[in-house]
């Protein structure tokens, strides 16, 4: 059952699942005023359509000994598809790089890393520069995490 539109109940389901994907289906169904089977069908339809991409566990970074966040801005003088694919391969198997974006403006790429400390960031930095040539790499160490969420707004659905 693929639904053409997302309604208010779907938005409530998504909001609840983004807060805690392990919530029992019975409790979720009750909260959105649906039967368990109707709630399950809606979730399944959102999964089938790709709106729900996957369900994951969020690990506490401090307890996993990676409390330091480093943002890395990268500039390159190379702007070819070959270079872009080389860059994708270079960062793909570095687990400390948890996010990577291609940008407009002064910086070409922005990476977010989580590491135990600056020494470990330096090791990642050395891995990067051993794999590709960059025009500039600028690092910013996060001092305080002021807001972090994996939840996306559902009001635009």
Provide the whole-model pTM.
0.88
Return d(Cα 91, Cα 98) in angstroms, integer: 10
Q: pLDDT, tens digit, for every residue of 16-57?
A: 999 999 999 999 999 999 999 999 999 999 999 999 999 999
Q: pLDDT, tens digit, for every residue of 59-101?
A: 999 999 999 999 999 999 989 999 999 999 999 999 999 999 9
CATH number of 68-141: 3.40.390.10, 3.90.400.10, 3.40.50.2000, 3.30.70.920? 3.30.70.920
Q: Is 152 exposed, middle or buried (0-12, 13-18, 19+ CB in 10 A)?
A: exposed
**pLDDT at position 2, please?**
46
**pLDDT at position 70, please?**
98
CATH-assigned architecture of domain 8-49: Orthogonal Bundle (1.10)
Q: Does residue 3 carry a pLDDT above 60?
A: no
């Amino acid at each position: 059952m693929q639904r053409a539109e997302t309604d208010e109940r779907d938005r409530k389901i998504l909001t609840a699942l983004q807060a805690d994907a392990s919530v029992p289906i019975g409790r979720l169904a009750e909260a959105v005023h649906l039967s368990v089977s109707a709630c399950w069908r809606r979730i399944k339809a959102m999964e089938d359509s790709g709106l729900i991409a996957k369900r994951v566990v969020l690990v506490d970074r401090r307890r996993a000994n990676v409390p330091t966040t480093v943002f890395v801005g990268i500039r390159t003088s190379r702007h070819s598809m070959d270079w872009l694919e080389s860059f994708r391969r270079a960062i793909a198997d570095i687990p400390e790089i948890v996010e990577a974006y291609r940008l407009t403006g002064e910086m070409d790429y922005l990476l977010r890393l989580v590491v135990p400390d600056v020494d470990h960031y330096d090791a990642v930095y050395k891995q990067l520069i051993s794999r590709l040539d960059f025009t500039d790499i600028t690092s910013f160490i996060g001092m305080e995490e002021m807001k972090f969420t994996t939840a996306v707004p559902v009001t635009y659905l």
